[in-house]
Amino acid sequence: MSRTNYIPPYTITDKVVNLVSVITELATRIIVNNEMSNNPRLRRDNRIRTIHASLAIENNSLSLDQVTDIINGKRILGAADEICEVKNAFEAYNQLLEMNPYSISDMLLAHKVLMSELTKEAGTFRNGGVGVFAGDRLVHMATPAIHVPHLIQELVDWAKTEEIHPLIKSCVFHYEFEFIHPFADGNGRMGRMWQTLLLYRWKSLFGWLPIETLIRERQEEYYKVLGECDQSSDSGKFIEFILTAIYDALCQIVDTEQVYEQVTEQVEKLLRVIGEDEYSTKELMELLGLKHRPTFRDNYLLPALDMGLVEMTIPDKPKSNKQKYRRV
């Protein structure tokens, strides 16, 4: 296969054209309103959701709360390898946005960080055969290992020079990456990460968009579409699938921001003093400089609870004297 002639087969349907249009419009609206950059907590929450969903797709059993605790430096009970996967993924995403999507060395570095202590081949292309399984069912037998280096180089060269819309290009890259399956393990995580990086180079908000959450919710369809594209030698259906997930993820961001726009000045103050910690009613009133308990309850605490921005640490016992509150 010649690099200059490497053109991955894909079909652009009317649905794809429409999705590209509405996604571009939504992304531009979010950027113009500065919604994501004004909300670092939303970015962090989305990053954690991304990590949890991407690992869950690969059968990591840790809950979102457990993943959050690990990232926040807390100890949890769980399998050592699953905890390692979370720590590695968090570090990989922290480095990802500084990487060059067209650099093979950066790709290998990302894999090394992502798979450190999980496989002996972390940071290197595989040297043996590998298959893609959905449960116990083989859905794809990957390209022979001897062809992996030059196929990945050709794919990267294509992505760097091909003049198509970044949304379509990133989807095609994602599909072709999974088809080649260049690593012994971690290909799904790497493919989704690298699509994120390609999209981030187009519009920065994609660096924190939790597309993986939507893919996880449609995991069976994800593998089904991959298999259908393999059989047809055309990634058109995969493009439609991923763009639909991106569109839905952007819609969720807009809906979340509409909630934040309704936050009162009092609730904003409450969220600021809580930060990343947990506090009792008495502690929060002291931090806010309040002495009148009904004022705190009616103007600060209850609105924040009703909007889902704050939660109880002991929700089953709302009147417990050990009750504390934290941000969601």
Q: How confident is the model at residue 135 (pLDDT cuts 50, 70, 90)?
A: low
Measured CA to CA, the distance from residue 328 to residue 311 in angstroms comes to: 6
Q: How confident is the model at residue 219 (pLDDT cuts 50, 70, 90)?
A: confident
Tell me the Cα Rg of the chain. Answer: 22
Residue 12, SS3 per DSSP:
coil
Residue 24: give the domain boundaries: 3-260
pLDDT at 212: 86
38-47, 162-171, 307-316, 318-327 — most confident range: 162-171
pLDDT at 87: 97
Residue type, 126: R
Residue that is last in its domain, among 243, 260, 277: 260
Same structural domain, 160 and 21: yes
Measured CA to CA, the distance from residue 121 to residue 187 in angstroms comes to: 12
Whether 36 shows a pLDDT value over 90: the answer reads no
Q: What is the CATH number of the domain that holds 268?
A: 1.10.10
Percent of the chain with pLDDT over 90: 55
Residue that is last in its domain, among 260, 295, 312: 260
Q: How confident is the model at residue 255 (pLDDT cuts 50, 70, 90)?
A: low
Same structural domain, 42 and 113: yes
Q: Are strands 310-312 and 325-327 parallel, antiparallel or unpaired?
A: antiparallel
Q: What is the CATH number of the domain that holds 25?
A: 1.10.3290.10
pLDDT at 185: 92
Residue that is last in its domain, among 238, 260, 282: 260
Total domain count, the chain: 2
